[in-house]
Structure 1
Amino acid sequence: MDNIKETVLEVIYSILPITIVITVLQFTIIGLPIETFIQFLIGVLMVGVGLILFLLGVNVGLLPVGEMIGSALSKTNKLWLIIFFGFLLGIVVTVAEPDVRVLSTQVDQVSGGAIPKSILILAVALGVGTFVALAMIRIIFNFSIVYILAIGYGIIFLLAAFTPASYVPISFDSGGVTTGPLTVPFILALGLGVATVLRGKSASSDSFGLVALASIGPILSVLILGVIYG
């Protein structure tokens, strides 16, 4: 019950500021048609209800399951299994990410179909999956995340020089949308489960940094896509 109350308050505190600002603008500067303003208020209510249900679902289902999967994979002592399922789960959770679908729809519209939705979603998902697998390797062998970030962004800036200019902003936006409300909690919980079993509670901080690594993958994959399509 306390969890529900905390979630409701968290959502209210999140959406209340923007609601107040737009309401003030409505009656001072903007003056939208009353029908549009009513639609906005209805939308705010629906978003609030949806976020409450979503966050409850994340806390009740995604976080515990992600951590349990990470723990169960680690207990098998099969490195290839941990890496493979890290790759697979990175792909499927990205395909389900709402932010990725919003971006792919916008890019498809703006490009006039030159960059199909399905291709962009697949590229982003493969990029996330590859770097989640790389993050699992980092946790297993316990080497610094700094090396991966430095090499990853070095390759990104190198590729950006050979990619059509229109693909560069899309690639960085693709990296941003992978930090959405579905991908982040699941990947962090997965990493926490793996790190906790492999090296104990003291190593649970290794689950952090996974999102940073996962964000590199889509940028690289979309830049490669730009080289191919460009």
Structure 2
Amino acid sequence: MQSVLNGILTLLGFLGEGLRSVAPVIGILLVFQLLVLRAPLENWREIAAGLVLTVIGLVVFLKGLEIGLIPLGEAASGALARRGSLFLVVLFGLAMGYGATLAEPALRILAERVESLTGGALGAGLFVQTVAVGVALGLGVGAARIVLGIEITPFFIPALALALVLTFFAPERYTGLAFDAALATTGPVTVPLTIALGSGLALALGRGDILVYGFGLVAFTALGPILCVLVLGIILGEPAGG
């Protein structure tokens, strides 16, 4: 009986954490809807059910990351580091960056919207593949930096400068799209795996300052898509539609 009670209390605690995460957003939307706009919620039952599912889904997802995906990523990166092969680490970073990007739901939504607005001139498949390649390259380069023990600044400054230069040559529509793509791909799948890879490599290799060598990979996964989408824009030119 005591174990059942403890399980119920634990579950309620998890649900409370999920509710606290989404409560500010729910509160803001309700305040604007009911007090500022003074518009009633006609389908409030469906909305309430959706919010409950959101909380439950968030709790399940976060616990899954905590006990499954992040430990798996750290274990894999640590094992790779102990092998002492830069090639394997870079190959793993490329493969994980590419695969994780294809699983990002936000990127799929963005890609489908882009295809619709351009009348198919920029297809969703091409856009997703371009972003995935960018993330893969960014994660591969970032992982190599950790293995080689190089600080992050010498990589960031040239990459940012290159991105700024490319914005002058890419069509205007691709500039905003490139930066949106970077944000869309740094989502709930890519970010935990990227952080696990960076911290796992830094810890396994015994890097002195984990904050210097273990972090920054997420920024690499954001810079890669920006550069690749801008290059795609230069190659394809102005998309049709709009």
Tell me, yes or no, if structure 1 residue 48 matches structure 2 residue 55. Answer: yes
**Residue-pair matches, total:** 229
| CA deviations over 1:33-74 (Å, ceiling 9, x no partner) | 643443332222221111111111111111000000101111
Give the conservation status (yes or no) of the 8 Å contact 2:33–2:40.
no
Separation in structure 2 between the aligned mates of residue 3 and residue 154 of structure 1, nearest angstrom: 49
Distance in 2 (CA, whole Å) between partners of 1:3 and 1:74 is: 36
Which protein has the larger Cα radius of gyration, Structure 1 or Structure 2?
2
1:204 corresponds in structure 2 to 210
2:37 paired residue among 6, 30, 34: 30
Residue matched to 1:124: 131
Percent sequence identity is 33
Aligned mate of 1:176, from 173, 183, 195:
183
Stretches of 4+ aligned residues off by more than 2 angstroms: 1-10, 20-43, 202-205
Mapped to 1, the partners of 2:11 and 2:227 lie a distance apart of 39
Counterpart check, 1:89 vs 2:108: no
- Superposition deviation, residue 91 in structure 1: 0.5
**Alpha-carbon displacement from aligned partner over 1:120-152 (angstroms, at most 9, x marks no partner):** 111111101101110111101111211111111
Do the aligned residues in 2 keep the contact of 1:196 with 1:203 (CA within 8 Å)?
A: no
Opposite residue 95 of structure 1, the aligned amino acid is L
1:75 touches 1:197 (CA, 8 Å); kept in 2? yes
**Residue 166 (structure 2) pairs with residue 159 (structure 1):** yes
TM-score w.r.t. length of structure 2: 0.88
More moved, 12-21 vs 56-65 = 12-21
Where structure 2 has 5 or more consecutive residues not aligned to the other structure, the ranges are 1-6, 238-242
What amino acid does structure 1 have at the position aligned with 2:155?
Answer: I
- Structure 1 pair 178–7 and aligned structure 2 pair: CA distance change class (3 A): farther
The 8 Å contact of residues 4 and 56 in structure 1, kept in 2 or not, is answered as no
Q: Give the alignment partner of residue 18 of structure 2, picking from 8, 11, 24.
A: 11
* Structure 2: distance between partners of 1:4 and 1:133: 39
RMSD: 1.9
- Tell me the CA shift for residue 219 of structure 1: 0.3
Are the counterparts in 2 of residues 100 and 177 from structure 1 also a CA contact under 8 Å?
yes
Q: Give the corresponding residue for 1:66.
A: 73
Deviates more, 1:27-36 or 1:205-214: 27-36
Unaligned 5+ segments in structure 1 are none
Q: Does the 8 Å contact 1:168/1:223 carry over to 2?
A: yes
